[in-house]
Structure 1
Amino acid sequence: MGITSNDAAPRAVLLRFLFLLCIGCKCLASEVEATQTATLAVDASPQLARKIPDTLFGIFFEINHAGAGGIWAELVSNRGFEAGGLHTPSNIDPWSIIGDDSSVFVETDRTSCFSRNIVALRMEVLCDNCPTGGVGVYNPGFWGMNIEEGKVYNLVMFVKSPETTDLTVSLTSSNGLQNLASATVTVSGESNWIKVEQKLVAKGTNRTSRLQITTNKKGVVWFDQVSLMPEDTYKGHGFRTELISMILDLKPRFLRFPGGCFVEGGWLRNAFRWRESIGPWEERPGHFGDVWHYWTDDGLGYYEFLQLAEDLGTEPIWVFNNGVSHNDEVDTVAIAPFVKDVLDSIEFARGSANSTWGSVRAAMGHPEPFPVKYVAIGNEDCGKKFYRGNYLKFYNAIRQAYPDIQMISNCDGSSTPLDHPADLYDFHVYNDSKTLFNMKSTFDRTSRSGPKAFVSEYAVWRGDAGRGSLLASLAEAAFLTGLEKNSDIVSMASYAPLFVNDNDQTLVHAAFHSLHCFLLCSCRPNIVVRGEAT
């Protein structure tokens, strides 16, 4: 609920300021002479009161393996063998063989049964008398799988073999010596692909485990879409329960997804495509996130983000590509297909179960619409050649089809009025602690008419951030006091990034890792999480 009493808003600002002051005084106490005194003057006049909107504090999702290898509970990295890079073909990394070149040979080929991700792994067993334990392949997940005693893990994989073959699927330590769970599945010899499902119950705990698939029989086996998920995901929707619980502690009012630069792509060919991220997970092609330099299988897709927002009780804010990437753009005269694509995405979320795209959502298990009320037209694209023209095409089409949707411009209106219509505008800031401290008055002189500010990305970063520093936390909190003070024109704010995998910190903020979740120094309303990649 928002604070509505006349004196509540200044009181909230005052309490936060006093909290910061107390921390600062304690940190500096050893350097202050006992005879020194200070006077604190606070003006809490009722006429200064401003209503703090319910939507002021929310969360932003992107980067640093926050999804794949983070909040999304999939344990297998490159489960479809499609992963590649900007200039490299698909490869099996991080899969590796168990055995040597004389006993097993693996390669990718284009024989999968899935039309949108046709690469599969072909494994040829060469040995007549294979070593004890067999030969095969293993996957270490995202820097090791966190397997816990007593927990159930659901294995799903698609397999083909011309001859009947017994496969042993196991969860082991990183060197394969400790067996945590195993089962034998029989693949009947036939030319068609079959779906194999197996529950594995862990009889031990290991924080850097791996998944193994082995056999002792000479012959050829094909694999594709090998997935391993813990059974106890949040509400059965695929998210790590312990990380979701920390998000719930934040009580966020909105979820900005699926990212910022992730949406744009370094090149448009690598931008996030919502259509390719819906439907059965095994049929999703995945894509290379060329801005952040890693592959995502898009198991965490558009539908899952909408479901997450619903589970958290937050407003979903859908950030979509407006025909602009970091390095190429679509001319406004050719933007119509992009506009149609976005209208379809909104119909997928909001349309009835009888509509074209609403029926696709319903088939995925959610017949009721998702209440998308906010969309962001691009990310950090203001000033690019075709942004304004493209923006107006999207704005007009969405306003006509969905007049209640609030649209967010990429252009900063905090100091200069926008030259195009918008309901809100993005404001992003990443800087050192001193600068962010000084930015607490940024919106003091902003016009009280026109669109409101959405501070959708803010943080102290680089050297000042460290691994979560008190200095950075104080600077961010000071900046937030300025947002609260100006909450009549600042409608929303979200720290960025929410999650950082300890093993891949593209931006240096506070981080998280795979087994444990640690609350690092970052002032209310932000809790920055550490844990381990599972």
Structure 2
Amino acid sequence: MHDTTHCLSSYKWKPMGFKEASSTTIFCLLLLFCLGCRCLASELVATQAATLKVDASPQSARKIPETLFGIFFEEINHAGAGGIWAELVSNRGFEAGGPHTPSNIDPWSIIGDDSSVFVATDRTSCFSRNNVALRMEVLCDDCPTAGVGIYNPGFWGMNIEDGKAYNLVMYVKSPETTDLTVSLTSSDGLQNLASTTITVSGTSNWTKLEQKLVAKGTNRTSRLQITTNKKGVVWFDQVSLMPEDTYKGHGFRTELISMLLDLKPRFLRFPGGCFVEGDWLRNAFRWRESIGPWEERPGHFGDVWHYWTDDGLGYYEFLQLAEDLGAAPIWVFNNGVSHNDEVDTAAIAPFVKDVLDSLEFARGSADSTWGSVRAAMGHPEPFPVKYVAIGNEDCGKKFYRGNYIKFYNAIRQAYPDIQMISNCDGSSKPLDHPADLYDFHVYTDSKTLFNMKSTFDRTSRSGPKAFVSEYAVWRSDAGRGSLLASLAEAAFLTGLEKNSDIVQMASYAPLFVNDNDRTWNPDAIVFNSWQHYGTPSYWMQTLFRESSGAMLHPITISSSYSGSLAASAITWQDSENSFLRVKVVNFGSDAVSLTISTTGLQASVNALGSTTTVLTSWNVMDENSFSNPNKVAPVKSELSNAAEQMQVTLAPHSFSTFDLALAPSKLVAEM
């Protein structure tokens, strides 16, 4: 991420949202597209012509790294808190208002008025690392029948669905026996979706209460409320509500994780981004404070993106997420540098020790000091952390290089197999310090990114590999996620494929945005409490998911129009079949008649089973939305004329893939 003004930080061919059509339908769609642009039907195939030659011979093929395409998760736009992390209660521990009490308890509110109920935070919690609790005093002798109390609307409303179960956990204490009614209701409290009464025994000690609530109705903007009719005092702390149904029971929203699984990511870079640094070091992400029982995690204010996180989604959960996705974890840690303050290299030793401890937590045996903590959390087997990034976008900072060397030397000695990533760009000149990989970040306009497909053509083949850990088209060309942006990004990725001898990894940014907190536009996946959709940039990435570990073949394009075309060719296979995939981006406004000529194949092409997929739309600035989530989505059809020599039509402003089914071959068998 850059600074706060521009900072971020078995195969199934039919993924969610793909639309299928016959080849005739595709032609009609392209024809209608062209007519919409006020051109003649004949111009769809005659405006421009080009030839694409593919050398598919085994001797010219090169294997793409297994790790080439993955994902980058940053806690931005409420991507985690109020996003993929399924916790429904916002500010569940009442810590968001800060350590000094009384403090603000937003978004909690009272049910009743000041004459009937009074609430304020104090420091009486039983948890030493987060000792703020909420004291509620009921003042009325004759309280309303419905009771008085408190409610929490979650993150812009809780999605409660009929028949589903929700697990409530809360800590309470009261000097007198009190009945509490816990309910899930509509945002105005009038529709009761689930309710139960819990008796709190009179005691000065905190009691953990657990209850399952089963909804008898659906409401997308619900709230959790706790009420009583009895005068007296009750304290609350760590009030949590989680759906019983989460991905593999690990606390993640299933439908959002499904979107990630459809990308087949080979790595997960986490947790930032600027979130790692903080505007100030006091607000940087601290892994130690994000592990252990969730009730004991203090949480912290993410001052870069301006919201509180309770760190229920912590270091352990990120490692678990990577495992669940089948992705290699890439741990980005703070190197003693924030946006506004730094630790002198002479004083960096405690930070180095902290990172070594984090690696022992992930990789240590179950009987090691920190490995035993991981084991106690439910994962006795080590997590395979083999990549770490030493900071984020800190190369120009005063103490970065000195701090970097301290971290590098300590990690290399303790874990010689770990690949270390520098923040300094080595694409145009050699680094002045050791590294296995270097970060390369780019946020720019569509034309610039399209032309950057050749950026790494000029990069030295010696030295560390490139990790394009953040890329995207943004600002006016991107809107909230345009077709135009996705086409430029696709062209850029074909260049990364071509240069994958020195580009080892790449990931789009940002990954998620809660539609209620659009701090950064655009993003790959948009969601609210109950809906979600992929932007064109998300769908574009699904067409690269077979590239990691595939065989890359040289291509050449011949045309006076070639400046608007980008292409690549790979051989890949699923569990049953092998394919030659040719990907072509038409960045121009003219349709193109493209002749694809393939030589050197060690297997015949079978039209049966061959397909083409096209990502395009009526307008290059078209976007998806909750009301029309697949307005810009890939359309798949049969490729009936599939052959080593074939002619196809590229729609204006389109990204097309042509998958030619192959008979079993020695080339594919060696992949």
TM-score (norm 2): 0.74
Q: Equivalent of 2:529, from 489, 514, 517?
A: 514
The question of 1:194 aligning with 2:207 is answered yes
The question of 1:424 aligning with 2:437 is answered yes
How far 1:98 sits from its partner (Å)? 0.2
Matches within 5 A, 1:449-468: 449-468=462-481
Flag the 1:148–1:90 CA change in 2: closer, same or farther, 3 A. Answer: same
Match of 2:289 in 1: 276
Match of 2:71 in 1: 59
How far 1:506 sits from its partner (Å)? 0.9
Deviation digits for residues 217-236 of structure 1 (CA, Å, limit 9, x no counterpart) = 00000000000000011111
Flag the 1:317–1:23 CA change in 2: closer, same or farther, 3 A. Answer: farther
Deviation digits for residues 324-358 of structure 1 (CA, Å, limit 9, x no counterpart) = 00000000000000000000000000000110000
Partner SS state of residue 259, structure 2 = helix
How far 1:246 sits from its partner (Å)? 1.2
Deviation digits for residues 244-298 of structure 1 (CA, Å, limit 9, x no counterpart) = 1111111000000111100000000000000000000000000000000000000
Q: Equivalent of 2:348, from 327, 335, 345?
A: 335
How far 1:88 sits from its partner (Å)? 11
Flag the 1:186–1:237 CA change in 2: closer, same or farther, 3 A. Answer: same
Matches within 5 A, 1:35-74: 36-45=46-55, 49-62=61-74, 63-74=76-87
Deviation digits for residues 165-206 of structure 1 (CA, Å, limit 9, x no counterpart) = 000000000000000000000000000000000100000000
Match of 1:18 in 2: none
Match of 1:395 in 2: 408
Match of 1:6 in 2: none
Q: Equivalent of 1:318, from 331, 346, 356?
A: 331
Deviation digits for residues 494-522 of structure 1 (CA, Å, limit 9, x no counterpart) = 11111111000111114322212222212
Measure, in 1, the Cα distance between the counterparts of 2:103 and 2:353: 31
Measure, in 2, the Cα distance between the counterparts of 1:288 and 1:120: 17
RMSD: 2.2
- Say which is worse superposed, 429-438 or 74-83, in terms of deviation: 429-438
Q: Which runs of 4+ in 1 moved over 3 A?
A: 22-29, 31-37, 45-50, 84-90, 526-532
Does the 8 Å contact 2:101/2:123 carry over to 1? no
- Say which is worse superposed, 32-41 or 454-463, in terms of deviation: 32-41
Measure, in 1, the Cα distance between the counterparts of 2:116 and 2:100: 31
Measure, in 2, the Cα distance between the counterparts of 1:480 and 1:159: 53
Does the 8 Å contact 1:79/1:227 carry over to 2? yes
Flag the 1:382–1:74 CA change in 2: closer, same or farther, 3 A. Answer: same
Does the 8 Å contact 2:247/2:254 carry over to 1? yes
How far 1:493 sits from its partner (Å)? 0.5
Does the 8 Å contact 2:481/2:521 carry over to 1? no
Partner SS state of residue 491, structure 1 = strand
Identical aligned pairs, as a percentage? Answer: 85
The question of 1:103 aligning with 2:113 is answered no
Flag the 1:348–1:531 CA change in 2: closer, same or farther, 3 A. Answer: farther
Measure, in 2, the Cα distance between the counterparts of 1:178 and 1:512: 25
TM-score (norm 1): 0.92
How far 1:39 sits from its partner (Å)? 2.3
Q: Equivalent of 2:89, from 43, 68, 76?
A: 76
Measure, in 2, the Cα distance between the counterparts of 1:433 and 1:91: 43
Flag the 1:376–1:64 CA change in 2: closer, same or farther, 3 A. Answer: same
Does the 8 Å contact 1:65/1:504 carry over to 2? yes
Measure, in 2, the Cα distance between the counterparts of 1:488 and 1:181: 57
Measure, in 2, the Cα distance between the counterparts of 1:86 and 1:37: 67
Measure, in 1, the Cα distance between the counterparts of 2:485 and 2:34: 16
Q: Which amino acid aligns with 2:54?
A: A
Flag the 1:368–1:490 CA change in 2: closer, same or farther, 3 A. Answer: same
Q: Equivalent of 2:541, from 525, 530, 533?
A: 525
Q: Which amino acid aligns with 1:516?
A: Q
Does the 8 Å contact 1:159/1:196 carry over to 2? yes
Higher strand proportion, which one?
2
Partner SS state of residue 53, structure 1 = coil
How far 1:90 sits from its partner (Å)? 4.4
How far 1:48 sits from its partner (Å)? 6.0
Match of 2:508 in 1: 495
The question of 1:411 aligning with 2:427 is answered no
Measure, in 2, the Cα distance between the counterparts of 1:44 and 1:342: 47
Does the 8 Å contact 2:94/2:121 carry over to 1? yes
Measure, in 2, the Cα distance between the counterparts of 1:50 and 1:143: 49
Match of 2:217 in 1: 204
Flag the 1:191–1:76 CA change in 2: closer, same or farther, 3 A. Answer: same
How far 1:41 sits from its partner (Å)? 2.8
Partner SS state of residue 388, structure 1 = helix
The question of 1:485 aligning with 2:501 is answered no
How far 1:49 sits from its partner (Å)? 3.9
Match of 1:4 in 2: none
- Count the aligned residue pairs: 512
Q: Which amino acid aligns with 1:92?
A: I
Flag the 1:472–1:368 CA change in 2: closer, same or farther, 3 A. Answer: same
Structure 2: unaligned runs, 5 residues or longer = 1-9, 11-27, 544-622, 628-671
Q: Considering only CA atoms, is the larger Rg found in Structure 1 or Structure 2?
A: 2
Measure, in 2, the Cα distance between the counterparts of 1:328 and 1:25: 58
How far 1:434 sits from its partner (Å)? 1.6
The question of 1:382 aligning with 2:403 is answered no
Measure, in 2, the Cα distance between the counterparts of 1:339 and 1:403: 16
The question of 1:153 aligning with 2:153 is answered no
